[in-house]
Chains A and B, each alone.
Chain A
Amino acid sequence: MTGHTSGHEYDAIVVGGGHNGLTNAAYLAKAGLRTLVLEENDLVGGAAITEELMPGFSFTTFSYALSLLRPEIIHELDLVKHGFLPLMMPSSFHPTGDGDYLLFGDDHAQNLQEVRRHSPRDADAYERYHRDLDRVCQAIRPLFDHAPPDVFSKDPEDEVDVKWLMDHLGGIDRKTMHDVVRLLTGSAADWLDDYFEHEAIKGYHASSSIIGSKVGPMSPGSGLVLLFHKMGEHDGHLGSWAFHKGGNGGFTQVLARAARAYGAEIRLGAQVSSVLTDGGRAVGVVLEDGTEFRARTVVSALDPRRTFLDLVDPRELPLDLVDNIRRMKFRGVSAKVNFALDGLPVFPALPDTVDHYGGFLNIGPTIEYVERAFDAAKYGWYSERPFIDAAIQSVVDPDMAPPGKHVMSCFVQYAPYELRGSDWETERESFGDKAQAVLESHFPGFGDLVLHREVVTPVDIETRTGLTEGNIFAGEFLAPQMYFFRPAPGWSRYATPIDGYYQCGSGTHPGGCVIGAPGKLASQRVLRDLSR
């Protein structure tokens, strides 16, 4: 293909306009690089988009809430100036399956009373639990916010980083270190058993242990997923979540405005076919339509499969890397079922209030309920009674729906990417019916409120966002796929074996969620290499 490159010269090209690609581009542009973002869809945001599927109803098609975003990024990219507005989620609601509920809010003492209403014994356990978890988060936060040291390198500079890591780990007290290991290797169920006796209280805390992952709360590894979600913070509250104004698509629009304000150019509908290399170094990219763009730095915000196996010729890469990426586990198990509603659902025990709809509605009463929902996924089928993490965002942000109407985002598990004996096109509405039946059982009359239903299967996630097998984290949160193994041993520091070619997606450290850290850390790596 002959290139027509005039006017297509940049310092850096970012492939993929998801939130990490935009973050990366904003930092590179801020540092003075002529930066181009190439996004395949007609809308930036990747898996963090908001779409108006019905007039006046804004759907968060995929990602739907904010917590993990590193607070430094808000300030360093001046996001408030561009419209950053995280809205408080004032409550968290957990039906206990027997008509009763757990309702948590912003008042710690009231939360203790709510726990005590179900189990007097669990009230002070609730305080101890959060203190212990906070200490774990404090201990590993520095690891979260720095590129993983290269423990395999003998370079003196890398050895300094390794020493920093070892010194830091050495400073963690015995109990906290033990808790870290128990969470990173064990199951959420075991961890929660050490604190709580009440099944619904355990169920409530276990919900974040399975998000996006092919594990049940009883599986070893679910502790890691729980811990990862607890690493977020909102306005100084660890593990706290917010709805961005206009949904997570509202947030990525903010990022796009910031990136543009720093001088980045964003091209939509630009599907990159491959990265151009010359003598083992990246020199640009070529689009599906043959258009070429030239730059000394190319950053892939796509997941590791696409970064290493699609965008470049794997034959240019070391065999062990290719092998590791091929073996990397994706296995999406999550789906979305989004509703436009004619009014608010009614929870029979709370008929006259809306205050329980201010945040997540956690439909997975007990660990056993969620574990049984997981069982089906092990054998290639979706849950008969799925776990649902729902959010009626229009309660907190009325601009998401016409007055009096509502949008409801439902994150539904388990929905394995590969179905045994059928496919997702066939099962789409049947799966949607299962999710809706669960909602109907907790909110009688729910079905009468439904104006529109959108079922987003794992295949849809893959097709529309490019996330392999619909895995929302661009690679599962398994211990062998985290930290200096993410995405592969030896390649966790955002560079690749091809000079000038970098990775900044959620498949790199620290990982998925709307977090921005991979985009930021990768930009630091790029800028450091360029300054040498």
Chain B
Amino acid sequence: MIRTTPFHERLSELNSQHLYTHWQGQLSPLRYTHAPKHEYFAVRNSVGVFDTSPLYKYAVTGPDAERLLAGSLVRDIRTCRPGRAHYTAWCDDRGFLMHDGVVFRHSADEFLLTAGRPALSWFQELATGLRVRLDDVSDDYGMLAVQGPRSRAVLASLMPEAEALAYFDHVPAKVADASITLSRTGYTGDLGFELMVAADDATAVLDAVLEAGRPHSIRPFGEEALMTLRIEAGLPLVDVEWHDARLTLSDADCVTPPELGLGWMLRGVRDGSRRFVGSEAIRRELVDGTSRWATTGIVVDPHDWDRLYREADLFPPKSEHPLPYESMLYHHEGVDDDRTEAGYCTSFVYSPVLQRHIGIARVRPDLAATGTDLRLELAVNHHNTTVRVTTTPMPFFDPERKKA
């Protein structure tokens, strides 16, 4: 039986398409209107709302809560003060990534962890013998992302806390007489917030947000718009950029944090001063330089793209819908035909704000330097060919307002 989120009743009234995915067993709109790209522009130019309730939510409480998370999360939770949130990840003991998520620290011994896939038993096993309580509170709360340059103005009209809330901070607030947690978080790479609200209050809070947003052209956005946004933001997605290491049959489907571009989370790993599940394997990877891949952005040469299609009498496609498959990357050493595999592109899309095709890619570490010329494989008129791409840092789109 497919389930619905606490916001579904109201949001479905705004949905003219009735196209849904089953996101972790819950209905999640692909789009609300005929034009997901218009929903995308709500986030890039005004304000949009996204129902992110299907995320798993785990309350982690007790005197040893910090100890549990410090020993299991890739990023050092001890540096997260109450009122802060961390984007983080966790690995198996080979240092291969399982999931990513956001952990909110409410007090010295109260945390809330979100996850894209179920992970309760994993943490429970690690908690054996510790004074910590783990509760699956996924169904108790709805989560509403309010994203875009006008999100702050809309939310500040409902709660003054929104005005000065810093990037990745969170704060208790009240909307429509309901207690919520307001955080400066999101998955769009733009200025944005998320509201965690008790399921029973979800409709009232959503109504208040929509009403406050009306003069600002607020609109709900679906997963299609979100995919374009998150690729522009350079944010990886489980089961697209990597697979849960505990569920794969081949190590080729696994990545380590450094390989996924999460090296910035690894303070204290190389020198062995910080230990968590997988840290020793990652430490060896760092020290021995054995990373198989480096994650990088790629950007397509627009002239080469257009030329390929025009020479085939086709109109060069520029689709804001990501390719549903991986594409190989090649490196041309010297002469044109002498190509070697350089890596692969996991997410590929046309970015309307950048007017370029962009991709999240994993390449041989020696080819990851910014500005490296590579070729991306694609088929034109049912023949394989390649287009010129260049490696570039991520995020592709990184407006000042995101953190300001």
List chain A positions with a Cβ less than 8 A from chain B: 71-72, 74-75, 79-80, 84-88, 90-91, 105-107, 110, 134, 138, 235-238, 245, 355, 358, 395-399, 403-404
- Residues of B close to A72: CB separation below 8 A: 303, 306
24 residue pairs from A and B, CB less than 8 Å apart: A71-B302, A75-B355, A79-B355, A80-B354, A80-B356, A85-B45, A86-B352, A87-B41, A88-B37, A90-B37, A105-B33, A107-B34, A107-B35, A110-B34, A134-B315, A236-B319, A236-B350, A237-B318, A355-B16, A355-B33, A397-B46, A398-B46, A398-B150, A403-B216
Q: What number of B residues sit within 8 Å (CB to CB) of A?
A: 31
Cα separation A90 to B34 with both chains bound (whole Å): 8
With A88-B37, A235-B355, A396-B41 given, can you name 11 additional A-B contacts, CB distance below 8 Å? A75-B302, A80-B355, A236-B316, A238-B315, A245-B45, A395-B217, A396-B38, A398-B215, A399-B45, A403-B216, A404-B215
Cα separation A90 to B356 with both chains bound (whole Å): 20
B223 interfacial contact with A, CB 8 Å: no
Interface centre among A74, A85, A245 (most CB of B within 10 A): A85
Which chain B residue has the least Cβ–Cβ distance from A135?
B313
Cα separation A80 to B302 with both chains bound (whole Å): 13
Cα separation A75 to B150 with both chains bound (whole Å): 29
Which chain B residue has the least Cβ–Cβ distance from A395?
B217
- Residues of B close to A245: CB separation below 8 A: 45
- Residues of B close to A84: CB separation below 8 A: 355
- Residues of B close to A396: CB separation below 8 A: 38, 41, 45, 217
B320 interfacial contact with A, CB 8 Å: yes
Q: Would you give the shortest CB distance from B10 to chain A, in whole angstroms?
A: 15
Interface centre among A235, A238, A396 (most CB of B within 10 A): A235
Cα separation A87 to B313 with both chains bound (whole Å): 28
Cβ B35 vs Cβ A236 within 8 A: no
Cβ B313 vs Cβ A138 within 8 A: yes
Given contacts A74-B355, A84-B355, A88-B41, contact A235 B320 (CB under 8 A): yes
Which chain B residue has the least Cβ–Cβ distance from A141?
B310
Cβ B38 vs Cβ A404 within 8 A: no
3 interchain residue pairs of minimum CB distance: A236-B318, A403-B215, A404-B215
B353 interfacial contact with A, CB 8 Å: yes
Q: Would you give the shortest CB distance from B303 to chain A, in whole angstroms?
A: 7
B317 interfacial contact with A, CB 8 Å: yes
B81 interfacial contact with A, CB 8 Å: no
Which chain A residue has the least Cβ–Cβ distance from B17?
A107
Cα separation A369 to B46 with both chains bound (whole Å): 37
Q: Would you give the shortest CB distance from B283 to chain A, in whole angstroms?
A: 40
Q: Would you give the shortest CB distance from B33 to chain A, in whole angstroms?
A: 6
Which chain B residue has the least Cβ–Cβ distance from A104?
B34
Main secondary structure of the interface of B (DSSP, over half): loop
- Residues of B close to A395: CB separation below 8 A: 217
Cα separation A171 to B215 with both chains bound (whole Å): 53
Q: Would you give the shortest CB distance from A328 to chain B, in whole angstroms?
A: 33
B267 interfacial contact with A, CB 8 Å: no
Cα separation A84 to B318 with both chains bound (whole Å): 17
List B37-53 residues whose CB lies under 8 Å from chain A: 37-38, 41, 45-46
- Residues of A close to B318: CB separation below 8 A: 235-237
Interface centre among B217, B313, B354 (most CB of A within 10 A): B217
B3 interfacial contact with A, CB 8 Å: no
Cβ B45 vs Cβ A87 within 8 A: yes
B246 interfacial contact with A, CB 8 Å: no
Cα separation A238 to B317 with both chains bound (whole Å): 10
Which chain A residue has the least Cβ–Cβ distance from B353?
A85
B403 interfacial contact with A, CB 8 Å: no
Given contacts A84-B355, A245-B45, contact A75 B38 (CB under 8 A): no
- Residues of B close to A79: CB separation below 8 A: 355
- Residues of B close to A238: CB separation below 8 A: 315
Cα separation A75 to B214 with both chains bound (whole Å): 35
- Residues of B close to A399: CB separation below 8 A: 45
Interface centre among B38, B316, B317 (most CB of A within 10 A): B38
Q: Would you give the shortest CB distance from A93 to chain B, in whole angstroms?
A: 13
- Residues of B close to A106: CB separation below 8 A: 34-38
Cα separation A107 to B35 with both chains bound (whole Å): 7
Which chain A residue has the least Cβ–Cβ distance from B352?
A235
Q: Would you give the shortest CB distance from A107 to chain B, in whole angstroms?
A: 4
Cα separation A43 to B400 with both chains bound (whole Å): 27
- Residues of A close to B215: CB separation below 8 A: 398, 403-404
Which chain A residue has the least Cβ–Cβ distance from B319?
A236
Cβ A75 vs Cβ B46 within 8 A: no
Cα separation A236 to B317 with both chains bound (whole Å): 5
- Residues of B close to A85: CB separation below 8 A: 45, 353
- Residues of A close to B46: CB separation below 8 A: 397-398
Q: Would you give the shortest CB distance from A173 to chain B, in whole angstroms?
A: 11
- Residues of B close to A403: CB separation below 8 A: 215-216
List B199-220 residues whose CB lies under 8 Å from chain A: 214-217
- Residues of A close to B33: CB separation below 8 A: 90, 105, 355
Cα separation A71 to B355 with both chains bound (whole Å): 9
Cα separation A85 to B45 with both chains bound (whole Å): 10
Cα separation A396 to B45 with both chains bound (whole Å): 9
Q: Would you give the shortest CB distance from B367 to chain A, in whole angstroms?
A: 24
- Residues of B close to A236: CB separation below 8 A: 315-319, 350
Q: Would you give the shortest CB distance from B398 to chain A, in whole angstroms?
A: 13
Q: Would you give the shortest CB distance from A31 to chain B, in whole angstroms?
A: 17
- Residues of A close to B306: CB separation below 8 A: 71-72
Cβ A404 vs Cβ B35 within 8 A: no
Cβ B34 vs Cβ A105 within 8 A: yes
Interface centre among A110, A134, A403 (most CB of B within 10 A): A403
Cα separation A396 to B313 with both chains bound (whole Å): 33
- Residues of A close to B316: CB separation below 8 A: 236
Q: Would you give the shortest CB distance from B354 to chain A, in whole angstroms?
A: 6
